[in-house]
Amino acid sequence: MDAKKTAVIVGAGPAGLTAAFELLKRSGAWRVIVLEETQEIGGIARTAVHGKCRIDIGGHRFFSKSQEVNRLWAELMPLQGKPAWDDIRLARNKDFAEGGPDPEKEDRVMLLRDRVSRIFYLRHFFDYPIALKLQTFLNMGLWRTWCAGWSYLRAAIFKREEKSLEDFYINRFGKVLYAMFFEDYTEKLWGVHPSKISPEWGAQRVKGLSLIKAVLNVLKPKGAKRETSLIESFLYPKKGPGQLWEIMADEIRARGGEIRMGTQAVRLETKDGAIASVTAASGERIPCDALFSSMPIRDLVAAFDKVPAPVAEVASALPYRDFITVGLLVDRLAIRNQTPIRTLNNIVPDTWIYI
Ligand SMILES: Cc1cc2nc3c(=O)[nH]c(=O)nc-3n(C[C@H](O)[C@H](O)[C@H](O)COP(=O)(O)OP(=O)(O)OC[C@H]3O[C@@H](n4cnc5c(N)ncnc54)[C@H](O)[C@@H]3O)c2cc1C
């Protein structure tokens, strides 16, 4: 008889896979079964494959202040030890890992990427976060620059009471820059106007970012401590974010873990206040001693056999924001570049362009 206890993990996205991997690594006492309702590994951090192309369903950067998390990533995908093709073309100097893999020869390698984000607005490219430099003012034109300057001064002198994210942004950037760069973008991304979002959300999201800090940040020497929102480099698996999760899934299987694809958890049965079994949509009942869930809270609560009525009511009303990714396959990019400094050897070095 198998003396091992069974842990069922719902979801083969980053959370579920990491739970499975760590459990198998730390203890031999568990039989680990991951249930994934789709046929894909990586959840919303996966990389879709179309022919020879790999397309992220959401551009992901890997950056963590936790050394434990960084160690875990490095364990699965070592940092590049040599420059990649574009590092050479863009003449980028980076701190490569001594003895690390050569990305031009190996696939299992984490690349160190420079963050270049720009906003395409008024048919011009603006730096993101906004940089106070000549190009920004040329892009905005004299009148807008004038208005933005006055509105910033006004906001700096007459501070608003911060009741919403809108107040938070206006206090830091002024009304004109807020309307240009934050208002529509926030509403588009989160489906809620900034005037209806709490200011704490902004403090947590943009970590004290302000026009003054953005300026000071530009002046900081290389290597100095920076605001999280302004971090200029990040890690990125050579074949997209999904590669890391595919590697982790292979490691889980190699350690004896099971990943059942196309298996949706629909019912969670409890006994004496603890999880007793998970039932899949196929009707199969999997008895278990522990459950790790990464499914949406609404579905998790709905799947439990016994839930207090107020909890069920709150959970069923939780809103979720969906998104659609459109992948365009083009032979080559013909972006007319307006900031020549940013184009070296005809490569547009952007990692993101916000529209
Ligand atoms: C556009 C975009 C950009 C992002 N950029 C970044 C970034 O730059 N850096 C960063 O760190 N994060 C980024 N994120 C966030 C990151 O993708 C998520 O934090 C991460 O994927 C969450 O992992 P998860 O495992 O909790 O959930 P998910 O990735 O959602 O995975 C959950 C998995 O569970 C499965 N599942 C759900 N219900 C069931 C069920 N009942 N039965 C079986 N399986 C089920 C789903 O199919 C899915 O595979 C970004 C997200 C998006 C959308």
Domain with CATH 3.50.50.60 in the chain: 5-114+238-316
Measured distance CA(192)–CA(201) in Å, rounded = 12
Q: Kindly give, in sequence order, each residue whose CB lies less than 8 Å from that of residue 264, ignoring residues fewer than 6 positions away.
A: 35, 37, 280, 281
Q: Averaged over 332-346, what is the pLDDT?
A: 54
Q: Averaged over 163-183, what is the pLDDT?
A: 90
Q: Averaged over 38-50, what is the pLDDT?
A: 95
Query: Quick check: 131 pLDDT over 80?
Result: no
SS3 54: strand
CA-based nearest residue to 84, from 317, 349, 353:
349
Six-digit token string for 46: 């996966």
**What pLDDT was estimated at residue 281?**
97
Measured distance CA(73)–CA(14) in Å, rounded = 11
Point out the least confidently predicted range of 47-51, 105-109, 129-133, 148-152: 129-133
**What pLDDT was estimated at residue 7?**
98
Q: Kindly give, in sequence order, each residue whose CB lies less than 8 Å from that of residue 88, ignoring residues fewer than 6 positions away.
A: none
**What pLDDT was estimated at residue 116?**
81
Measured distance CA(32)–CA(21) in Å, rounded = 9
Residues with CB under 6 A from ligand 1: 10-16, 35-38, 43-45, 58-61, 264-265, 294-295, 299, 323
Mutate which of 72, 294, 301 to test ligand 1's pocket (most atoms within 8 Å of Cβ)? 294
The DSSP string of 16-47 is HHHHHHHHHHH-SSEEEEEEESSS-SSGGG-E
CA of 145 to the centre of ligand 1 (A): 40
Query: Quick check: 182 pLDDT over 90?
Result: no
Q: CB of 272 within 8 A of CB of 293?
A: no
Q: CB of 9 within 8 A of CB of 34?
A: yes
274-300 confidence digits (pLDDT tens): 999 999 999 999 999 999 999 999 999
296-336 confidence digits (pLDDT tens): 999 999 999 989 999 999 999 998 888 888 888 887 766 55
Pick the CATH number of 5-114+238-316 from 3.40.640.10, 3.40.630.10, 3.50.50.60, 3.90.1150.10: 3.50.50.60
Indicate the average pLDDT of the chain. Answer: 87
Ligand 1 atom at minimum distance from 11 CA: 34
Q: CB of 182 within 8 A of CB of 214?
A: no
Q: CB of 252 within 8 A of CB of 34?
A: yes
Buried residues in 134-165 as b, exposed as e (16+ CB within 10 A) = ebbeebbeeeeeebbeebbeebeeeeeebebb
Q: Averaged over 53-74, what is the pLDDT?
A: 91
Q: CB of 10 within 8 A of CB of 294?
A: yes
Q: In this predicted model, which residue has the larger pLDDT, 226 or 323?
A: 323
Ligand 1 atom at minimum distance from 58 CA: 1
**What pLDDT was estimated at residue 340?**
44
Point out the least confidently predicted range of 201-205, 317-321, 349-353: 201-205
Sign of the alpha-carbon dihedral angle for 206, 210, 211, 212: negative
Q: How confident is the model at residue 188 (pLDDT cuts 50, 70, 90)?
A: confident
Q: Kindly give, in sequence order, each residue whose CB lies less than 8 Å from that of residue 214, ignoring residues fewer than 6 positions away.
A: 129, 130, 131, 132, 230
DSSP-derived pairing of the beta strands 5-10 and 124-128:
unpaired
Q: CB of 50 within 8 A of CB of 295?
A: no
Point out the least confidently predicted range of 34-43, 51-60, 158-167, 205-214: 205-214
Mutate which of 38, 44, 299, 322 to test ligand 1's pocket (most atoms within 8 Å of Cβ)? 44
**What pLDDT was estimated at residue 136?**
82
